[in-house]
Amino acid sequence: MKILIVDDEEKIRNVIKEYAEFEGYEVEEAKDGMDAVNLCKNQNFDIIIMDIMMPKLDGFSAIKEIKKSKNIPVIMLSARGEEYDKLFGFEIGIDDYVVKPFSPKEVMARINAVLNRVKISKESDKEKYVFEGLEIDMLARNVFVDGVKKELTPKEYELLQYLVLNKNIALSRENILNKVWGYDFYGEDRTVDTHVKMLRNNLENYRDKIVTVRGMGYKFEE
DSSP labels for 139-206? TTTEEEETTEEE---HHHHHHHHHHHHTTT--EEHHHHIIIII-TT----HHHHHHHHHHHHHHHGGG
Specify whether 113 is located in the same domain as 131.
Answer: no
Three-class DSSP category at 42:
helix
Query: Which parts of the chain register pLDDT below 70?
Result: 81, 120-126, 183-189
- Out of 119, 150, 174, pick the residue that ends a domain: 119
Residues in Cβ contact with 3 at an 8 Å cutoff, skipping those fewer than 6 apart: 20, 25, 26, 27, 28, 45, 46, 47, 48, 49, 111
Q: Amino acid letter at 105?
A: K
Question: Helices 59-67 and 33-42, interaxial angle, to 10°?
Answer: 20
Specify whether 109 is located in the same domain as 13.
Answer: yes
Give the long-range contacts of residues 102-105, CB within 8 A, separation 24 or more. 102/77, 104/15, 104/16, 104/18, 104/19, 105/19
pTM: 0.58
Q: Considering its fold, how many domains does the chain have in total?
A: 2
- Out of 93, 119, 145, pick the residue that ends a domain: 119
Specify whether 37 is located in the same domain as 103.
Answer: yes
Specify whether 17 is located in the same domain as 109.
Answer: yes
Specify whether 109 is located in the same domain as 6.
Answer: yes
d(CA 196, CA 135): 18
Specify whether 114 is located in the same domain as 22.
Answer: yes
- Out of 99, 119, 139, pick the residue that ends a domain: 119
Cα→Cα distances 45→2, 36, 113, 164, 169, Å: 5, 11, 16, 25, 24
> How confident is the model at residue 183, as a pLDDT?
55
Specify whether 105 is located in the same domain as 17.
Answer: yes
Specify whether 99 is located in the same domain as 151.
Answer: no
Specify whether 13 is located in the same domain as 91.
Answer: yes
DSSP 8: S
> How confident is the model at residue 1, as a pLDDT?
87
Specify whether 193 is located in the same domain as 141.
Answer: yes
- Domain extent, residue 46, equals 2-119
Specify whether 187 is located in the same domain as 140.
Answer: yes
> How confident is the model at residue 6, as a pLDDT?
96
Q: What share of the chain is helix, strand, coil (3-state, %, to 5)?
A: 50, 20, 30
CB 52 within 8 A of CB 33: no
Specify whether 105 is located in the same domain as 68.
Answer: yes
pLDDT tens-digit readout, 108-149 = 988 988 887 777 666 655 578 888 899 998 877 889 999 999
DSSP 10: H
Report the CATH number that the domain containing residue 57 is assigned in CATH.
Answer: 3.40.50.2300
